[in-house]
Structure 1
Amino acid sequence: MKGLIRGLSLIVLLFVLGFSSNKMEVWVYFTDPDELFSKMGELFGELDICTVQQSDEGEYYLVLNTTKEQFEKIQKLGFKTKVTYEDIAEKFYEMAGSRDPQILRDFGYFYTYWEMRDTLQTLANSFPQISRFYSAGNSYQGLPMVAFKISDNPMVDEMEPAVCFNGATHAREPMGTTLCIDYIKYLLTNYGVDSLVTWFVNNREIYFIPVMNPDGYRYNSDSGGATSNIRKNRHLYSGQSSSTAGVDLNRNYGYKWGYDNVGSSPTVTSDAYRGPSRFSEPETQNARDFFLPKKIRTQIDYHSYGAYNLCVWGYSGSAEPIPDSVTVWEILDSMRAKNGFSAARTGPIYRVLYAANGTSIEWEMKDTLHNGVPKFVTYAFSIETDQTDFWDGYNNYTVIQNNINQCRPVNIYFTKIAGVFFDNLQPVVADTALGNGTGQLDPNETSHLWMRIRNRAIHPLDSAYNITATLVSLDTQIVVQTGTATFPKIYRKSTGNNSASRFVIHCSRNATPGSAKQMRLILTFKDDTCTITQGINFSLTIGNNPVGISEAEERKGIQTIKISKNPARGLIQFEFAKKPVSDGVFCIFDASGRLVKRFEGLAQRIVWNGTDQTNMKVESGVYFYTYRSSDGFKKGKFVLIAE
């Protein structure tokens, strides 16, 4: 993500004559970002900054690819420095294990531009029903910016919630390209196999641009190998040479473009040259025009390196509050939980990395106008991959696999939160009215059931409304008696429930206490203009208080219960030999085992007027009673003659 080799002539010739990059790797130590920016001033905007790291002693330092002249200027400012490589090419040779330019051309385990293009074309041919390979526009030199879409109707813009991933905005950062292609392969090969992936493909529009900078990326391979170390695109401006050509595409976007000369540079030979005007480059114009007609909710721009989770702002640390900051920090915390990056490397670009203006995520996140029309706000973030160099992993696939393991879970998370996605389902057994009131489903019990569910969407657009639900039992011992319900509108990041519109279920008397019974909740709802269906599997654990009287045994020595009349007409009294203990529960059941009435907080005498839990009169017939308490269980049978 960070820099351009100055004074570099044709790489093939240099390999013949003896390679020299004219740049060294240097560490520059500092204590406070504001002090760093103030002390360096506009020199900071001229530097090729690779990353920011922290030493074992807790000191922060910039990793720079710098010329001898720049290094001398830094030393004169009084910074503590350390030269780690006199020639940065030596660092790459160590990683690659070769100096052969023909070997170095292939990017090792990383994809060249041509390999990326051919890989995605092959995948699109193999999965034509759910993928689309196309161009998002041409680069300055006429190369396609390859785009890839995954959806169940890839040729149709269904306006489903959308998410986007991209890489290689800076030409020397191939890890982002690799991570995009990994996630593409994961989604395609698991469609119809993994239920979550299948749901993603059916209910999201998932976009990728694995190489945002085709010309610079191609130059790094075709000019003789990754030692070219080109950062910018290849748009040659007046005053530039072949080795200094181009614009830093991540300083060329429209929001706060050219804010100052610290976060970007007006100098054409600088590695952070921002271009003559906002969106001056075909590549950033293509990105802008790609985003504008879409409602992309979430976005990850992959860069290298240093293991950072980054959000806005980069142009300033104090000029503007982070929009919807609570949500942004929730997302950052979730990213960190999934990829394991440190808290110190998670946060706004300006604060945890360095000053940068005209960046992609700032334009994507801001509701600026384009031709008088407000741009859709995208919750955009950057990930700086976990490497020790831009090309770390070239000859060591373990580095690549580690980054896949860190970033694929984040990609899955961003796909989830790109629209309404329900999870954290909590079933609530409400058995007071129909069952025995234990709060769990017991054998032979009929009960109401309702659910708490959480909408994980983060965009304000993504409230779920018109929610209907169907309950399905996946176990023959659970019978759904009332299987449809409705939920109220559930806003983003919020929880809702159907306690006002409940299901009714019945558990078999033969169900084993403690066993888990599988069920499925099927939700159909509106998200923006789309109708979406989502199924959620869950389980209910069967309780150990069987309803009815046939399963329980009376404990010897428990007090007696006297019935006033049996048969009884209208009213019936139950009198205990002594006052029941405080946890005693007295229940009346009909002949089918259905709970009719429940009494708690018992007095020594109970009077029942022949009504159920809803105060409706019951019919004449045979009834049973049970008394449960910490000191035992008592049961009995009686006949009621209803009036």
Structure 2
Amino acid sequence: MRRLLAALSIAVMALLFFGTSLWADEGPYMLVRVDVNPEVKIVPLLELGLDIVDGVRDQYLDVVCFPGDLSRIRALGYQAEVIIPDMVQYYAALSPTEDMGGFRTYSEAVTELFQIHDDHPDITTEVFSIGQSIEGRELYVIKVSDNPELDEDEGEIFFNGLIHAREPIGMAICFELLNQLTDRYGIDPDITYFVDNREIWFLPVFNPDGYVYNEQIAPSGGGMWRKNRRDNGGGSYGVDLNRNWGFNWGYNNIGSSGSPGSETYRGTAPFSEPETEAVRQFCNEHSFAIVLNFHSYGDEMLYSWSIPYAPWGYTPDNATFQMLSLTMQQWNGYVYGTAWEVLYEVNGDANDWQYGEQTEKPKSYAWVFEVGPSFWPSPSSIPGLIAENMDPCYFLIDQAENYMPTAVSLAYIDGVIDDQVGGNGNGGLDPGESALFTPTLRNNGWETGTGISATLFTPDPYVN
């Protein structure tokens, strides 16, 4: 999912219609690498509605597909190589002795949520449901704060995972952060400050039906179901919950699909799914300064806008997104940018609604974190993937202070030595010679800084 599709060719190409996959039993899920050199038009590939999971711009795209999809890809004239012929078997082999590939089951996740409240009733709300899934499972949330049952004038932040059922690392990160906040409260001064001065919300399992379905079809982990479990009729199931939001819903058939069998099927209407409607109402009841939506995979931090066309492309807050992402990159090393710059264009996604909908609710600065190297990473790699995202999470909690004021810090200093005039010309800074230093300042806050002044000094008595 590297820097690909930064500038899509919008040329319309005549092609035969090829229907997208309708059934989960059409054969194994495959990982296929498709050649997209600069001479190749990629729009027809995108219009197949497949899940693009990785790639390098002007070189290749990695897509998840069924054997029938592979035939359609090749029939369109693309060169395609099978990287993993059966992804479920491949992931299961990574953790043959582990339940759910080393991740919590749905029932274990629910049990742990309730246990966290039982263990820390003074700093957590009771676990409660914000709505039910299409199959009637509860969407459970919990808040961490020093006065959990009060709605105080404190910055609010919202973490969620598993909107796509085959991406459990987001749930794992939510639980690690939740446990650290509650277990270290009163011990770690930074965590104590955050809990005392923020309202921190968690929805670890956004798509319970899809995740339970993966438990059923692949109890050792590696289940490849992505969508929810709506019965679309005709043997097709599921809506992509990250294409079902109301902002730019159904903008085109590149960033989402109107075909019920597609992995990116957007549903019959915005918020047609009870899961997205429940989270929409939940967001409207709060003033989340920041929302962090966990996904996998690709090691990326994505923000709005998710489509490149005017008047979209970049938000008015693009510089803020860039600076905050640059700060977080020092911890997790992830590539960052708009969805269409880094990965591919998307429409009807959560990020754009959370940021762009400013009538029903205040603006939220929203990110997608695409975590790790695969949907079901090896159990031994899970702790590291969680750990690399803890500091970014704490950083965003800190930033959620109803938007941080101007906070200027020194980013770096460039120095230039010029001793050709008035010096000995050896390229070194010798006694009596001068150098030009250019400091670069970084505003880590949300507000525009004006009238900034700074003083450079050194304790070295030999430097003036």
**TM (normalized to structure 2)?**
0.80
What is the alpha-carbon distance in structure 2 between the residues aligned to residue 323 and residue 159 of structure 1?
26
Give 2:189's match in structure 1, choosing from 189, 195, 204: 195
1:70, distance to aligned residue in structure 2 (A): 1.8
CA contact (8 A) 1:339 1:406 kept: yes
For residue 187 of structure 1, what is the amino acid of its counterpart? Answer: L
What residue is the counterpart of 2:7 in the other structure?
none
- Are 1:360 and 2:350 an aligned pair? yes
For residue 67 of structure 1, what is the amino acid of its counterpart? Answer: F
Cα-Cα RMSD: 3.0
Give 2:331's match in structure 1, choosing from 332, 335, 338: 338
- Are 1:182 and 2:176 an aligned pair? yes
For residue 24 of structure 1, what is the amino acid of its counterpart? Answer: M
What is the alpha-carbon distance in structure 2 between the residues aligned to residue 401 and residue 92 of structure 1?
17
**Alpha carbons of structure 1 residues 159 and 198: separation in structure 2 relative to 1, 3 Å:** same
**Structure ranking higher in strand proportion:** 1
SS in 2 for 1:265: coil
- Are 1:392 and 2:377 an aligned pair? yes
Higher relative contact order (CA 8 A, sep 6+): 2
SS in 1 for 2:385: helix
What residue is the counterpart of 1:447 in the other structure?
none
What residue is the counterpart of 1:16 in the other structure?
none
Mapping of residues 598-637 of structure 1, within 5 Å = none
Give 1:128's match in structure 2, choosing from 117, 121, 124: 121
Give 1:228's match in structure 2, choosing from 223, 226, 250: 223
- Are 1:255 and 2:247 an aligned pair? yes
What residue is the counterpart of 1:141 in the other structure?
135
What is the alpha-carbon distance in structure 1 between the residues aligned to residue 81 and residue 343 of structure 2?
19
**TM (normalized to structure 1)?**
0.58
For residue 160 of structure 2, what is the amino acid of its counterpart? Answer: N
What residue is the counterpart of 2:43 in the other structure?
38
Give 1:280's match in structure 2, choosing from 266, 269, 272: 272
**Alpha carbons of structure 1 residues 7 and 414: separation in structure 2 relative to 1, 3 Å:** same
Give 1:298's match in structure 2, choosing from 263, 284, 290: 290
Mapping of residues 520-535 of structure 1, within 5 Å = none
What is the alpha-carbon distance in structure 1 between the residues aligned to residue 109 and residue 35 of structure 2?
38
**Alpha carbons of structure 1 residues 237 and 77: separation in structure 2 relative to 1, 3 Å:** closer
What is the alpha-carbon distance in structure 2 between the residues aligned to residue 131 and residue 495 of structure 1?
42
1:407, distance to aligned residue in structure 2 (A): 0.6
Structure 2, unaligned runs of 5 or more: 2-19, 411-441, 454-458
What is the alpha-carbon distance in structure 2 between the residues aligned to residue 141 and residue 82 of structure 1?
37
SS in 2 for 1:156: coil
Mapping of residues 402-481 of structure 1, within 5 Å = 402-419=384-401, 456-458=444-446
Structure 1, residues 486-539: CA drift from partner, whole Å, max 9, x if none? xxxxx5667989xxxxxxxxxxxxxxxxxxxxxxxxxxxxxxxxxxxxxxxxxx
Structure 1, residues 280-314: CA drift from partner, whole Å, max 9, x if none? 01000011011012111011100000111101122
What is the alpha-carbon distance in structure 1 between the residues aligned to residue 349 and residue 276 of structure 2?
10
What is the alpha-carbon distance in structure 1 between the residues aligned to residue 148 and residue 21 of structure 2?
40
What is the alpha-carbon distance in structure 2 between the residues aligned to residue 494 and residue 189 of structure 1?
41
- Are 1:348 and 2:338 an aligned pair? yes
CA contact (8 A) 1:232 1:248 kept: yes
Mapping of residues 312-331 of structure 1, within 5 Å = 312-320=304-312, 321-331=314-324
What residue is the counterpart of 1:48 in the other structure?
51
**Alpha carbons of structure 1 residues 457 and 127: separation in structure 2 relative to 1, 3 Å:** farther
What residue is the counterpart of 1:173 in the other structure?
167
**Percent same amino acid among aligned pairs?**
32
What residue is the counterpart of 1:378 in the other structure?
364
What residue is the counterpart of 1:108 in the other structure?
101
What residue is the counterpart of 1:88 in the other structure?
87
1:220, distance to aligned residue in structure 2 (A): 1.0
What residue is the counterpart of 1:29 in the other structure?
35
1:88, distance to aligned residue in structure 2 (A): 2.2
1:63, distance to aligned residue in structure 2 (A): 1.9
**Alpha carbons of structure 1 residues 367 and 494: separation in structure 2 relative to 1, 3 Å:** farther
What residue is the counterpart of 1:266 in the other structure?
258
CA contact (8 A) 1:338 1:406 kept: yes
CA contact (8 A) 1:456 1:494 kept: no
| 81-90 or 169-178: bigger deviation | 81-90
**Alpha carbons of structure 1 residues 128 and 259: separation in structure 2 relative to 1, 3 Å:** same
What is the alpha-carbon distance in structure 2 between the residues aligned to residue 496 and residue 354 of structure 1?
38
1:97, distance to aligned residue in structure 2 (A): 2.8
CA contact (8 A) 1:170 1:248 kept: yes
SS in 2 for 1:254: coil
What is the alpha-carbon distance in structure 1 between the residues aligned to residue 88 and residue 138 of structure 2?
30
1:64, distance to aligned residue in structure 2 (A): 1.7
What is the alpha-carbon distance in structure 2 between the residues aligned to residue 457 and residue 137 of structure 1?
35
Larger Rg: 1
1:317, distance to aligned residue in structure 2 (A): 4.9
SS in 1 for 2:60: strand
CA contact (8 A) 1:150 1:207 kept: yes
**Alpha carbons of structure 1 residues 284 and 337: separation in structure 2 relative to 1, 3 Å:** same
